[in-house]
């Protein structure tokens, strides 16, 4: 059994690479000014991506009045952040679905939508980054699944039967998906902000960036496939400055947005 997350990831030969379109998209955002035009160029080289973006921009998720048929028009309407979100969601889909199934893919979408929506409503965090943070928070799960699929299946079953996910993973692997996700984020050279949110999404008050880590935790809880939102530590709610009642009132629109996004991207 590996001693820690770094050791585990170092022993693996087949760590997935971050899809190149994401590397390019995130690189562009870093040096902002020329953004939208360069995102258009990325898509000019990736027809599958371009057609997914057009399909999405014409879906109920955005609900624009007239049909949008060109990528440049789509980019102008969506803006850079939304376009980046779509690129990430589309480009990560094969990896998430092959290693985590449709459930993990939908959970990632829903957490992305939830984080973005909550950030937008509250101004407590930058809504531009929020989708990516929510979307990637559980990325460590794919590494544990690749490392030992049979064992991870058993962990998932235990969790379905009520076990705590962090405890079950640590018992089976010696590490958990938050720590391993942090190591993957470093390997992928994701931003410190993203890496931190991934590492602390189950223990956000321990983060050096508590506010945005609390947002990740709250978005994750909202994205659980349960009738009611699972209990959230009052200290975490206080830190972010939100109540359960407010979150409850967001739930319907988050569900609707997630379904529209999921339907549009699922084919
Ligand atoms: Fe998680
Ligand atoms: Fe999660």
d(CA 249, CA 18): 35
Longest dimension (CA), the chain: 56
User: What is the per-residue pLDDT for 81?
Assistant: 80
Measured in Å, residue 68 CA sits from the centre of ligand 1 at 36
User: What is the per-residue pLDDT for 1?
Assistant: 58
- What is each CA distance from 54 to 60, 75, 239, in whole angstroms? 12, 10, 39
Domains in the chain: boundaries? 5-265
Question: Using one digit for the tens of pLDDT, what is the confidence trace for 194-204?
Answer: 999 999 999 99
Measured in Å, residue 216 CA sits from the centre of ligand 2 at 9
Confidence category of residue 32, pLDDT binned at 50, 70, 90? low
Measured in Å, residue 160 CA sits from the centre of ligand 1 at 14
Other beta carbons less than 10 A from residue 99's beta carbon: 19
Q: Return all residues near 209 (Cβ < 8 A) that are at least 6 apart.
A: 193, 196, 197, 200
User: What is the per-residue pLDDT for 31?
Assistant: 55
Measured in Å, residue 59 CA sits from the centre of ligand 1 at 29
Question: Using one digit for the tens of pLDDT, what is the confidence trace for 111-165?
Answer: 999 999 999 998 777 777 899 999 999 999 999 999 999 999 999 999 999 999 9
Phi-psi region of 228 (alpha: psi -120 to 50; beta: other; left: phi over 0): beta
d(CA 177, CA 183): 10
Tokens of residue 234, six digits: 């009052």
Asked if residue 75 lies in contact with residue 40, where contact means CB atoms within 8 angstroms, the answer is: yes
Q: What angle do CA 160, 163, 167 make, to 5 degrees?
A: 130
User: What is the per-residue pLDDT for 39?
Assistant: 79
Fold type of domain 5-265: Hypothetical protein af1432 (1.10.3210)
Tokens of residue 262, six digits: 């999921």
For residue 11, pLDDT beyond 80: yes
Say which residue, 197 or 102, is predicted with more confidence. Answer: 197
Q: Give phi and psi for 229, each to the nearest 5.
A: -65, 130
Measured in Å, residue 31 CA sits from the centre of ligand 1 at 30
User: What is the per-residue pLDDT for 30?
Assistant: 58
Other beta carbons less than 10 A from residue 96's beta carbon: 24
Measured in Å, residue 198 CA sits from the centre of ligand 1 at 8
Say which residue, 123 or 237, is predicted with more confidence. Answer: 237
d(CA 225, CA 159): 13
Q: pLDDT exceeding 70 applies to what percent of the chain?
A: 96
Question: Using one digit for the tens of pLDDT, what is the confidence trace for 63-101?
Answer: 888 899 988 888 888 888 888 888 888 889 999 999 888
d(CA 264, CA 176): 32
For residue 46, pLDDT beyond 80: yes
């Amino acid at each position: 059994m590996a001693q820690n997350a770094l050791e585990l990831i170092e022993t693996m030969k087949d760590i997935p690479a971050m899809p190149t379109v994401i590397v390019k998209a995130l690189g562009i955002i870093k040096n902002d000014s020329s953004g939208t035009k360069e995102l258009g160029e990325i898509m000019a080289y990736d027809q599958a991506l371009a057609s997914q973006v057009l399909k999405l921009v014409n879906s109920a998720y955005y609900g624009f009045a007239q049909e949008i048929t060109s990528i440049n028009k789509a980019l102008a309407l969506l803006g850079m952040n939304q376009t980046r979100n779509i690129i990430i969601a589309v480009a990560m889909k094969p990896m998430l679905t092959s290693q985590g199934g449709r459930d993990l893919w939908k959970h990632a979408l829903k957490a992305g939508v939830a984080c973005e929506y909550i950030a937008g409503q509250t101004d407590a965090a930058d809504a531009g980054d929020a989708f990516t943070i929510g979307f990637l928070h559980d990325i460590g799960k794919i590494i544990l699944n690749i490392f030992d699929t049979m064992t991870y299946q058993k962990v998932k079953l235990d969790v379905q039967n009520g076990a705590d996910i962090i405890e079950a993973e640590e018992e089976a692997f010696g590490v958990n998906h938050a720590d391993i996700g942090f190591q993957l984020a470093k390997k992928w050279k994701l931003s410190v902000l993203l890496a931190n949110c991934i590492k602390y999404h189950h223990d956000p008050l321990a983060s050096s960036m508590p506010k945005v880590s609390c947002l990740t935790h709250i978005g994750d809880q909202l994205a659980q496939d349960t009738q009611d939102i699972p209990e959230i530590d009052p200290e975490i709610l206080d830190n972010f400055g939100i109540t359960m009642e407010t979150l409850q009132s967001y739930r319907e629109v988050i569900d609707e947005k997630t379904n529209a996004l999921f339907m549009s991207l699922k084919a």
